A and B are shown apart, each in its own frame.
Chain A
Amino acid sequence: DAGVTQSPTHLIKTRGQQVTLRCSPISGHKSVSWYQQVLGQGPQFIFQYYEKEERGRGNFPDRFSARQFPNYSSELNVNALLLGDSALYLCASSFGAGHSNQPQHFGDGTRLSIL
């Protein structure tokens, strides 16, 4: 079975632009979470979507938004990009929601560089 897939793998943008990152969860998984990982730090929680609804949001500005589609895939959108948005963006899927005592399965991420 395919694992969590993310696209694109690398992306270069300039300040002020907008970006859309995509994630396909493991088949059968209904929960998708997004994380931002700055070099040398742990992943920071951005959003969790479960059954196509936003269930949790981390401490990120409104420039960050996401959605989950009927097939449980997800997109993360970031508007008005800043240099500080340069990071590895990770998507993780699980069968249940965050409190369901089930592990998350991660994709290899999208490396976003802002010039």
Chain B
Amino acid sequence: DSGVTQTPKHLITATGQRVTLRCSPRSGDLSVYWYQQSLDQGLQFLIQYYNGEERAKGNILERFSAQQFPDLHSELNLSSLELGDSALYFCASSFGVGSGNTIYFGEGSWLTVV
């Protein structure tokens, strides 16, 4: 158990819909990361927050947005869903930022768009 909690674990929704994925970081961790993993794209970095502020942005679509709340939990909002958005979405957390930090991953949220 990494200490990172993600909900829901599985989600099936229709194209055009909107979903919200939730993440609680490890106790004491200030940084939250979101990754998307699909068979053809591997593990792709989406966005990172540190202590409530956006710190880095990766390959995140405009239809996607995220935020980190004062209690440090984070949400990833996916809207106007397309079939290609079907993937495993991971949240991860670390205490700080930068290359010296260990990142701990949650078990992921499986999203299937039909």
Do A and B pair up? The answer is: no
- Please list the residues of chain A having a beta carbon within 8 angstroms of any beta carbon in chain B: none
- Please list the residues of chain B having a beta carbon within 8 angstroms of any beta carbon in chain A: none
